[in-house]
Amino acid sequence: MTAERIGAVIDALPLPVLLIGPDERVRAANSMVDSILGPELIGKHHITALRQPAIIAAIAETSRTQDPRVARYTGRHGPKDTVYRVSVAAAEGDILLTFEDQTAAEEAGQMRRDFVANVSHELRTPLTALLGFIETLSGAAKEDPVARDRFLGIMAHEANRMTRLVDDLMSLSRVEEDERVRPREHVDLSALLSSVIKGLEPQVNAAGVTVTLDLVTSDEMVQGDAGQLVQVFTNLVENAIKYGASGEEVTVQLLPRAMNQRLRCDAIQIKVTDKGDGIAEHHIARLTERFYRVDNHRSREVGGTGLGLAIVKHIINRHRGRLLIESEEGRGTQVSVFLPVGPVA
């Protein structure tokens, strides 16, 4: 095959491909390879073109044995390193390299490992405390009823914390599972918000705040999953109570439908406002990450698992809606949920 024909064939392939000739120099490369190795590769010695020992060793092995090999190659041209799985194969005296981008798969693997490490850490802390108290209760505090009652109280608190964490983990996995399934129920938002606030009465009274429901509009129906929307607004109002209690007032507003530029359709806005401590700007974008908390100690103290907003985000995605968190330190936080009510343009 002429060099031109080889060039045309590999240019038509959907993957970055490079061909090394018997003289060990690059014989052909398609344009997708340019973004990995830079331009003007033809005629260059493959060692100069590739420069990474793992792949050079794989090429040497394949040309010696004619057996295919696989090597890892890290592309350093973009703003972020890209990881490729490179297949090295003998092709009638030439060596053919095919690059497959593995970055997304590696990132997903890393996220999974981080998630498991986080869950283990979150469970280990209360478990260590429980084991410590069990030991104390079966030894030193065995005959001391006052200490026993106090320790049992702490043990119940730690066990509740683990239960909340396991509940949230299960909820997260369920929500992730049906994220692609469109919700079909017709939900009356004013009735739903009233029942959420009613359900939170014990927390509201304990925190000494007032929660006001401001129905700027009513009779608004959306297509949604009522159970999941209850979860969203319970979480948001609970956060406003937990982190905004110092401001004493929490408002839940149901605002009339309006065109939402981001969603490119009409949407209803539900806005939960507190007058608490607020959140520093640099934290805001990360709040929906699993286990991300502004203040670990404070979140644990008020019974947080660090998963609430991650669950909220998934549910809103399922509803093709949008979550907007606005906050100013010292002034309070406004969390808005936009739910689409019109056809997407």
Contacts with ligand ADP, residue ranges (CB under 6 A):
235, 239-240, 243-244, 274, 276, 279, 287, 293-295, 299, 304-310, 333
How far apart are CB 162 and ligand ADP at their closest, in Å?
14
Q: Least distance from C-beta 299 to ligand ADP, angstroms?
A: 3
Min. distance of Cβ 286 from ligand ADP in angstroms? 9
Question: Which residue, 31 or 296, has its beta carbon nearer to ligand ADP?
Answer: 296
Longest dimension (CA), the chain: 93
CB of 178 vs ligand ADP, minimal distance in Å: 20
Q: In the complex with ligand ADP, which residue's Cβ is closer, 192 or 241?
A: 241
User: What is the C-alpha separation between 141 and 302, in angstroms, rounded?
Assistant: 28
Cβ-contact 277, 329 below 8 angstroms: yes
CB atoms under 10 Å from CB of 302, counted, come to 15
Q: Read off the tokens for 76.
A: 């350093």
Residue closer to ligand ADP, measured from CB, 95 or 307: 307
Residue 61 CA from chain centroid, whole number: 41
Considering the complex, what minimum distance in angstroms separates the CB of residue 110 from ligand ADP? Answer: 21
* Separation CA 46–CA 262 (nearest Å): 48
Q: Which is nearer to ligand ADP, 139 or 330 (CB)?
A: 330
What separation in angstroms does the CA of 52 have from each of 58, 59, 74, 87? 10, 11, 8, 15
Closest to ligand ADP by CB, 42 or 294: 294
